[in-house]
């Protein structure tokens, strides 16, 4: 599988030159940031097992996170918090986080490939790739960095606010999570715009 993802990247590189893959984690949860990552992989130093983060176990994602951050030519992760999500909207926050991640790379790519069907506004050529995290090694690597960064953040919050059991559901709107919100109310890290039906 990894070979197919790298072969796809090789074709993109042949056409556009150095490029970065971009993905996000955390568009849907009720709380916490949306995490956006940009990665430029080293074609000479492939990483075995890179795949869509949703298809990997938590342990495998953690191991790949360390390998990606060590072997990638450049990488950047940006977190956009709930206050921005509430003020603007989740799509704006995601696109701006992606823009910041790309602009924060230590190497500026010639081309940007983004997971999904929308692209952030950039000063370099950019294209979207639906289900890109299962097609491109670079987007898959970005999906892993975004997911692991966000999960680590939510586990840190869990230590400060154990009553919400954030380490278990990572902020997503599970039945348990809604019950805990009704019981304990909300904290500053919640997205009020996502909780309007609860009266926030």
Sheet holding 19-25, edge to edge: 74-80, 34-40, 19-25, 111-115, 126-129
Q: How many CB atoms lie within 10 A of CB 151?
A: 23
The Cα–Cα gap between 82 and 192 comes to 8
pTM: 0.96
Cα separation, 93 vs 173, whole angstroms: 19
CB count within 10 Å of CB 48 equals 10
CB 120 within 8 A of CB 99: yes
Q: Which domains does the chain have, with CATH numbers?
A: 2-150 (3.30.420.10)
Of 14, 2, 4, residue with least CA distance to 111: 14
In this prediction, residue 2 carries a pLDDT of 87
**Which residues in the chain land under pLDDT 50?**
none
* Helix extents (H) in the chain: 2-16, 58-71, 82-87, 90-103, 137-160, 166-169, 175-184
Cα separations in angstroms, 139 against 8, 133, 134, 136, 170: 11, 5, 8, 5, 22
CB atoms within 10 A of CB 103: 15
- Rounded to whole angstroms, the Cα distance separating 162 from 118 reads 36
CB 50 within 8 A of CB 56: no
Give residue-wise pLDDT tens across range 30-45.
999 999 999 999 999 9
DSSP 3-state assignment of 52? coil
Length of the chain as a residue count: 200
The CA-atom distances, in angstroms, between 80 and each of 15, 47, 83, 93, 149 are 32, 28, 8, 6, 12
| Average per-residue pLDDT for the chain | 97
């Amino acid at each position: 599988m990894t070979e197919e993802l790298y072969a796809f990247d090789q074709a993109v590189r042949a056409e556009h030159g150095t490029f970065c893959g971009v993905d996000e984690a955390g568009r849907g949860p009720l709380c916490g940031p949306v995490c956006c990552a940009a990665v430029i992989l080293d074609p000479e130093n492939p990483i075995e097992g890179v795949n869509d983060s949703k298809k990997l176990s938590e342990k495998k994602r953690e191991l790949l996170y360390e390998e990606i951050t060590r072997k990638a030519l450049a990488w950047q992760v940006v977190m956009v918090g709930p206050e921005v999500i509430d003020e603007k909207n989740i799509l704006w926050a995601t696109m701006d986080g992606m823009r910041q991640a790309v602009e924060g790379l230590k190497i500026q790519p010639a081309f940007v490939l983004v997971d999904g069907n929308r692209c952030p506004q950039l000063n370099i050529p950019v294209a979207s790739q639906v289900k890109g995290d299962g097609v491109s090694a670079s987007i898959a690597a970005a999906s892993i960095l975004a997911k692991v960064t966000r999960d680590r953040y939510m586990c840190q919050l869990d230590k400060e606010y154990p009553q919400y059991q954030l380490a278990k559901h990572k902020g997503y709107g599970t039945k348990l999570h809604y019950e805990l919100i009704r019981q304990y109310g909300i904290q500053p890290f919640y997205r009020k715009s996502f909780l309007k039906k609860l009266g926030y």
